[in-house]
Amino acid sequence: MKKILLATPTMHTEEKQYIRKAFEENWIAPLGPNVDEFEETVAAYVGATSAAALSSGTAALHLSVILAGVKENDIVFGPSLTFSASANPVRYEKAIPVFIDSERDTWNMDAAALKKAFEKYPHPAAVMAVHLYGTSADMDEICGICKEHNVPLIEDAAESLGTTYKGKMTGTFGDYGIYSFNGNKIITTSGGGILVAQKEKDVDKARFLSRQARDPARHYQHSEIGYNYRMSNIVAGIGCGQMRHLEEHIEKKHDIYKTYQEAFSDIEEIEMNPLNRQGRDNNWLSCMTISPDSDVTPTQIMDALEAEHIETRPIWKPMHLQPVFKEYDFIQVEDGLSVSEDIFNRGLCLPSDIKNTKEDMERIIKIVRRQFGK
């Protein structure tokens, strides 16, 4: 029986051409023409002035935290409903994360809860917004709040390359934005990330820090702590080839979401993850929640699919529920069960691989519908 995975890389022919050329020209290093082209192509696509290609999205986030001036014991606001890679770089710098609840309209950081956080902690060092599962956060509200308080905004757009909000690409609203090219993302470099910034000097500083912060001296001299965060020319070659197919990948992700949405439209207990109607989602992963009064649970559905060799994932477990972050504050608008915990309790991620055939989708849908007696 064929195994269906959650989301896997989709390779084309151009990637091999770039890699072959790198081998032929002996550009086997964390610099080279593929790196330059990848940075230029991504920057042009998202509408940024320039970009720094790095070893991972997490590395890009870490450098963003540093560029924002975050220091030990500083407070940084960020969403609770996200992957831990969003929060970890805050702790790399020994800063204090304060987690913000989600809004139901997009599952992203709730602007009302963010305002409440500012009332409790008036002087955070930075705010980090995340565009969950490829859906944009409410950037008008979040940018407005950050501007009002004169606080730097970091955008974790790891999951949302190609997503727009009111015609503008996610990752380009904040002072710093990052994208991830991990193996399961909308496009991949096998592993890698990119940092963009409002100011050219910040991108230059990111490149400097990512190269071990080596001073421009003939001998090896370092006046700052640096990092080995640069992307290799081989990896960047994969990215150059993948960028040629990004829009194609997004359209296929849209088709997957619509297929699930239509297939479950007659089941009142199922609700697909919300989209932000102020722009275009990339639909990186299609997710669903089950109504709280249903006899069916997410675990039941995941187990039924797993029994048929079909991979799913739970919704991200909120950061304020993680053992490693249990000591840090969590801000929600109303008392009781938080929105982020409710989504976690009732949700799951469905297989969203763009290589899934019509038969694959029918097989997945049939199993899910069976759990509801359909």
Instruction: Say if residue 160 is in the same domain as residue 193.
Output: yes
Q: What pLDDT, in 10s, does the model give residues 198-253?
A: 999 999 999 999 999 999 989 999 999 999 999 999 999 999 999 999 999 999 99
* Tally of domains in the chain: 2
Q: Cβ distance 21 to 237 under 8 Å?
A: yes
**Cα-atom radius of gyration of the chain, to the nearest Å?**
21
Domain assignment present for residue 164? The answer is: yes
Mean pLDDT of 125-144: 98
Residues 6+ apart with CB under 8 A from 278: 136, 138, 165, 166
Instruction: State yes or no: pLDDT of 97 exceeds 90.
Output: yes
Domain final residue pick, 194, 223, 243: 243
The domain spanning residue 305 has which CATH number?
3.90.1150.10
Residue 27's pLDDT is what?
95
Instruction: Say if residue 309 is in the same domain as residue 217.
Output: no
Instruction: Say if residue 237 is in the same domain as residue 275.
Output: no
Q: What pLDDT, in 10s, does the model give residues 295-347?
A: 999 999 999 999 999 999 999 999 999 999 999 999 999 999 999 999 999 99
The domain spanning residue 174 has which CATH number?
3.40.640.10
Q: What is the domain extent for residue 323?
A: 246-371
Q: Cβ distance 226 to 212 under 8 Å?
A: yes
Instruction: Say if residue 287 is in the same domain as residue 209.
Output: no
Mean pLDDT of 36-41: 98
Residues 6+ apart with CB under 8 A from 223: 213, 215
Instruction: Say if residue 156 is in the same domain as residue 87.
Output: yes
Nearest Cα to Cα of residue 158 among 199, 188, 198, 138: 188
Domain assignment present for residue 54? The answer is: yes
Domain assignment present for residue 53? The answer is: yes
Q: Residue 311 and residue 366: Cα distance in Å, rounded?
A: 15
Q: Residue 243 and residue 251: Cα distance in Å, rounded?
A: 14
Q: Cβ distance 75 to 100 under 8 Å?
A: no
Assign 3-class secondary structure to the chain. Answer: CCCECCCCCCCCCHHHHHHHHHHHCCCCCCCCHHHHHHHHHHHHHHCCCCEEEECCHHHHHHHHHHHCCCCCCCEEEEECCCCHHHHHHHHHCCCEEEEECECCCCCCECHHHHHHHHHHCCCCCEEEEECHHHCCCCHHHHHHHHHHHCCCEEEECCCCCCCEECCEECCCCCCEEEEECECCCCCCCECCEEEEECCHHHHHHHHHHHECCECCCCCCCECCCCCECECCHHHHHHHHHHHCCHHHHHHHHHHHHHHHHHHCCCCCCEEECCCCCCCCCCCCCCEEEECCCCCCCHHHHHHHHHHCCECCEECCCCHHHCHHHCCCCEECCCCCCCHHHHHHHHEEECCCCCCCCHHHHHHHHHHHHHHCCC
Instruction: Say if residue 175 is in the same domain as residue 287.
Output: no
Q: Cβ distance 190 to 9 under 8 Å?
A: yes
Instruction: State yes or no: pLDDT of 91 exceeds 90.
Output: yes
Instruction: Say if residue 214 is in the same domain as residue 262.
Output: no
Residue 322's pLDDT is what?
98
Residue 119: CB atoms within 10 A of its CB come to 8
Instruction: Say if residue 226 is in the same domain as residue 345.
Output: no
Domain assignment present for residue 3? The answer is: no
Instruction: State yes or no: pLDDT of 1 exceeds 90.
Output: no
Mean pLDDT of 26-35: 95
Q: What pLDDT, in 10s, does the model give residues 176-190?
A: 999 999 999 999 999
Q: Residue 36 and residue 191: Cα distance in Å, rounded?
A: 17
Question: Looking up tokens 């003939």, which residue turns up?
Answer: 218
**What tokens were used for 226?**
């640096």
Domain assignment present for residue 63? The answer is: yes
Domain final residue pick, 225, 243, 261: 243
Instruction: Say if residue 264 is in the same domain as residue 221.
Output: no
Q: Residue 360 and residue 268: Cα distance in Å, rounded?
A: 24
CA 44 to the chain's CA centroid: 20
Domain final residue pick, 179, 211, 243: 243
Instruction: Say if residue 331 is in the same domain as residue 285.
Output: yes
Instruction: Say if residue 44 is in the same domain as residue 163.
Output: yes
Q: What pLDDT, in 10s, does the model give residues 241-300?
A: 999 999 999 999 999 999 999 999 999 999 999 999 999 999 999 999 999 999 999 999
Instruction: Say if residue 198 is in the same domain as residue 268.
Output: no
Q: What pLDDT, in 10s, does the model give residues 107-125?
A: 999 999 999 999 999 999 9
Percent of the chain with pLDDT over 70: 100
Report how far apart, in Å, the C-alpha atoms of 63 and of each of 52, 139, 145, 236 are.
10, 22, 23, 19
